[in-house]
C-alpha cells in the first residue's frame, strides 16, 4: 500500500540524530512489547508479513507520532483483534481491572 511507511526518498521528516543510539529498551514495556509480538508470531497467530501490513495500516499521522515500540504494540493489538484472538471488550476490561488494582 502507498502509505507513510514507504519513506524511501522523502524529504522533510526531520533532522537525523546520530547521537540517539540506544540499543536496549528505554523502558521495560518496550521489551515486553517486542517479546509479545514475537511470541504471537511463534504461536502462529499471525505471520511477519501480516504484522508488517498491520503496522502499515496505522493512520499515517499516528504512525509518525508513535515511537517504534508503540507502533509494534498498536500493530499487535490490531492484528490480534482482527484475528479474533482477543476482543476490544476483553482488552478494555483488562485495562480497567489493572487500573483499579494500581490505584
- Residues binding other proteins (CB under 8 A): 1-2, 5-11, 13-18, 20-29, 31-36, 38-45, 47-50, 52-53, 55-56, 64, 68, 70, 73, 76-77, 80, 85-86, 90-91, 94-95, 98-99, 102
Shortest Cβ 99–other proteins spacing (Å)? 7
Q: CB-hemisphere CA count at 13 Å for 101?
A: 6
Q: Which residue has the cell 490505584?
A: 103
**To the nearest whole angstrom, how small is the minimum distance from the Cβ of residue 58 to other proteins?**
12
Would you say how long the chain is, in residues? 103
Burial of 46 (0-12, 13-18, 19+ CB in 10 A): buried
Helix axes 48-56, 68-82, angle to 10 degrees: 110
Instruction: Give the shortest CB-73-to-other proteins separation in angstroms.
Output: 6
Amino acid at each position: 500500500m502507498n502509505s507513510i511507511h514507504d519513506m524511501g526518498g522523502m524529504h522533510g521528516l526531520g533532522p537525523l540524530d546520530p547521537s540517539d543510539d540506544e540499543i536496549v529498551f528505554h523502558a521495560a514495556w518496550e521489551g515486553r512489547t517486542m517479546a509479545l509480538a514475537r511470541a504471537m508470531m511463534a504461536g502462529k497467530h499471525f505471520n511477519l508479513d501480516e504484522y508488517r501490513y498491520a503496522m502499515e495500516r496505522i493512520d499515517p499521522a499516528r504512525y509518525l507520532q508513535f515511537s517504534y515500540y508503540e507502533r509494534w504494540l498498536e500493530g499487535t493489538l490490531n492484528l490480534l483483534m482482527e484475528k479474533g484472538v482477543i476482543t476490544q471488550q476483553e482488552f478494555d476490561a483488562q485495562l480497567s481491572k489493572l487500573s483499579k488494582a494500581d490505584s
